[in-house]
Amino acid sequence: MLSCNIKGVTNGFPLRLEVEKSVEKEVDFNADFLKNMFPKIEWKALVDAARSMGYTELPNEAESQMLDSEEFLKKFHHALLQLHLEEGALICPETGRRFPVSKGIPNMLLHEDEVFDEVYQIESQF
Amino acid sequence: MNSLLRTCQTPFRPAQREACTSERSLNGTRRIGWSIRSGVGRWRRLMVSATMGTESGLQKGIAEFYDESSGIWEDIWGDHMHHGFYDPNLLASVSDHRSAQIRMIEEALSFAGISEDLLKRPKSLVDVGCGIGGSSRYLARKFGAQCQGITLSPIQAQRAQALAASQGLADSVSFQVADALEQPFPDGQFDLVWSMESGEHMPDKTKFVSELARVAAPGATIILVTWCHRDLSPSEESLKPDEKKLLNKICDAYYLPAWCSTADYVKLLQSLSLQDIKAADWSEYVAPFWPAVIRSALTWKGFTSLFRTGWKTIKGALAMPLMMEGYNKNLIKFAIITCRKPE
């Protein structure tokens, strides 16, 4: 899970997806892994992200009892592990700042004016 | 609220830095000096090379250095971009170095007391300064855990992801281009925070350590393996001039903005109320490493590869004897510092 860390941003998660190119990759199904991951996932964020990639099969809400269902697990597996953003951007929900994604790698580097820095200043006149 | 502000509101403030001053060294090169409060009210100067310029200039330099040199490193040394851990006084052969690098990871985990027990082992890890992902993939595989890696180098991130995919780890390891001083993760996300030989690149050790602590979950372990300079004696205000000179030369070649001592790191961790802080000097266990790297550069393959890469890599290669000199003079220390975030 990535979040936006620009200075002063209070709601930097979840980042929205801007999809230019997405790919589906085959990943081995592992039910135990999914059950372990489930408590750590912001379900709504996953649903929204999957939807922006064109996958609408996930239920809007999920509870741990649903992990007993093979059908649910398969959908969870697909959304979490098989959908990949290749080209596009992650968007800060508060500022709209775009973090570009290229070849599947997000670039989360902040520009200098986005960094809050109370003690660190190198004056250019030095 | 920016997480650094949250950190600053805790009762124990991390060591503060004064406004910088500048001085001119003998050869006229401008050096920017930073003072860091060393825990008992004394101020000491860290030397920062003026060639680094702004922080973004440093980031660009680091990114370009690794964009340029990672390929040749991987070609000759494989996917771990850190020192090997060797038995002292044992002559290491070429084939030993790969296993020594693996051993370094295992020794670090053991030093930090990381459990391999299924229930207690870490389930989510961050690799801060991940290179081409050697540690990330190793740890993810070892613990069956999720690992995120961050690096300033887009080429490294790309290569790291490709290697993960080819090793069937694409579902558990992911990489992004990001700044260790502004980690793109919410607070408390990781059970294990891993920084293997990346601390040297951080211009602001306070911010670096604060971020390590911030992204660590309650009860998580932080493992920091990094190059430090020797601890100062109580009567010393700073390193000797010739020591500073040697470190500055190394700084320029490897895009290292500042050196601090192991004791400085320990004080920073203490100021953040981290617990079970342990530190050790592993310099004797890494002694064969730099001679081995130099030897590899002097092989036909190494030599010709260097010329194909670029000036930054060549400069880095030329600086290797300086690293050896630093170790031999007991100026440079290979340090491990580990701690736990309170529950």
CATH number of domain containing A112:
2.20.25.10
Predicted confidence (pLDDT) at residue B30 exceeds the cutoff of 50: no
What is the CA angle A47-A51-A52, rounded to 5? 120
What integer best gives the mean pLDDT of chain B?
Answer: 81
Cβ-Cβ contacts under 8 Å, A78 against chain B = none
Nearest-by-CA chain A residue for B144: A33
Closest C-alpha among B189, B194, B261 to residue B222:
B194
Q: Which residue has the tokens 């007993």?
A: A68
What integer best gives the mean pLDDT of chain A?
Answer: 81
The backbone torsions φ and ψ at residue B31, rounded to the nearest 5 degrees and listed phi first, read -120, 135
Comparing B25 with B169, the larger pLDDT belongs to B169
Predicted confidence (pLDDT) at residue B115 exceeds the cutoff of 60: yes
Tell me, what DSSP letter sits at residue B135? Answer: H
- Contact criterion met (CB < 8 Å) for B20 and A5: no
What angle, 0 to 180 degrees and rounded to 10, lies between the N-to-C axes of helices B289-298 and B55-77? 70
| Spatial separation of the C-alpha atoms in residues A56 and A79, rounded to whole Å | 9
Among the partner residues A1, A7, A9, nearest to B185 by beta-carbon distance: A1
Lowest mean pLDDT among A17-21, A116-120, B23-27: B23-27
Distance from CA of B336 to the nearest CA of A (A): 26
Cβ-Cβ contacts under 8 Å, B161 against chain A = 103-105
Lowest mean pLDDT among A70-79, A98-107, B38-47: B38-47
A109: left (phi over 0), alpha (psi -120 to 50) or beta: beta
**Predicted local distance difference test score (pLDDT) of residue B25:** 30
Lowest mean pLDDT among A32-41, B17-26, B198-207: B17-26
**Predicted local distance difference test score (pLDDT) of residue A117:** 53
**Predicted local distance difference test score (pLDDT) of residue A53:** 87
Domain harbouring B187, CATH code: 3.40.50.150
C-alpha distances out from residue B189 to A22, B89, B172, B218, Å: 26, 41, 15, 9
pLDDT digits (tens, 9 = 90+) for B172-204: 899 999 999 999 998 999 999 999 999 999 999
C-alpha distances out from residue B281 to B45, B70, B111, B230, B276, Å: 22, 27, 12, 10, 17
Mean pLDDT of B62-84: 85
**Predicted local distance difference test score (pLDDT) of residue B94:** 61
Upper half-sphere CA count for residue B309 (Cβ side, 13 Å): 26
What is the domain extent for residue A37? 2-125
Predicted confidence (pLDDT) at residue B40 exceeds the cutoff of 80: no
Nearest-by-CA chain B residue for A14: B186
Distance from CA of A114 to the nearest CA of B (A): 10
Among the partner residues B161, B176, B182, nearest to A110 by beta-carbon distance: B182
pLDDT digits (tens, 9 = 90+) for B120-146: 899 999 999 999 999 999 999 999 999
Predicted confidence (pLDDT) at residue B13 exceeds the cutoff of 70: no
For chain A, how many structural domains are there in total? 1
Distance from CA of B6 to the nearest CA of A (A): 11
Distance from CA of A41 to the nearest CA of B (A): 11
Position A8 confidence tier, pLDDT thresholds 50, 70, 90? low
Distance from CA of A47 to the nearest CA of B (A): 18
**Predicted local distance difference test score (pLDDT) of residue A7:** 67
C-alpha distances out from residue A19 to A49, A55, B159, Å: 10, 12, 22
B303, part of any domain: no
B246, part of any domain: no
What SS3 state is found at B34?
Answer: strand
The amino acid occupying position B46 is: L
| Spatial separation of the C-alpha atoms in residues A118 and A24, rounded to whole Å | 43
The 3-state secondary structure of chain A, one letter per residue: CCCCCCCCCCCCCCCEEEEEEEEECCCCCCHHHHHHHHHHCCHHHHHHHHHHCCCCCCCCCCCHHHHHCHHHHHHHHHHHHHEEEEEEEEECCCCCCEEEEECCEEECCCCHHHCCCCCCCCCCCC
For chain B, how many structural domains are there in total? 1
What SS3 state is found at B146?
Answer: strand
Complex ipTM: 0.73
| Spatial separation of the C-alpha atoms in residues B313 and B294, rounded to whole Å | 13
pLDDT digits (tens, 9 = 90+) for B193-236: 999 999 999 999 999 999 999 999 999 999 999 999 999 999 99
Q: Which two tokens stand for residue B178?
A: 């990001």
Cβ-Cβ contacts under 8 Å, B206 against chain A = 119
Predicted confidence (pLDDT) at residue B171 exceeds the cutoff of 70: yes
Q: For the whole model, what pTM was predicted?
A: 0.80
Cβ-Cβ contacts under 8 Å, A1 against chain B = 185-186, 189
B224, part of any domain: yes
Q: Give DSSP secondary structure letters for B41-61.
A: S-EEEEEEEGGG-SHHHHHHH
Predicted confidence (pLDDT) at residue B291 exceeds the cutoff of 50: yes
Predicted confidence (pLDDT) at residue B117 exceeds the cutoff of 80: yes
| Order of strands across the sheet that contains B21-24 | B21-24, B30-37, B43-49
Query: How large a percentage of chain B has pLDDT more than 70?
Result: 83
What is the domain extent for residue B147? 76-239+257-289+331-341
A interface with B, Cβ–Cβ below 8 Å: 1-10, 12-13, 25, 27-28, 33, 36-37, 40, 81, 99, 102-112, 115-116, 118-124, 126
Interface test with B, best of A28, A77, A108 (most B CBs within 10 A): A108
**Predicted local distance difference test score (pLDDT) of residue B318:** 84
Mean pLDDT of B320-330: 91
B152, part of any domain: yes
B51, part of any domain: no
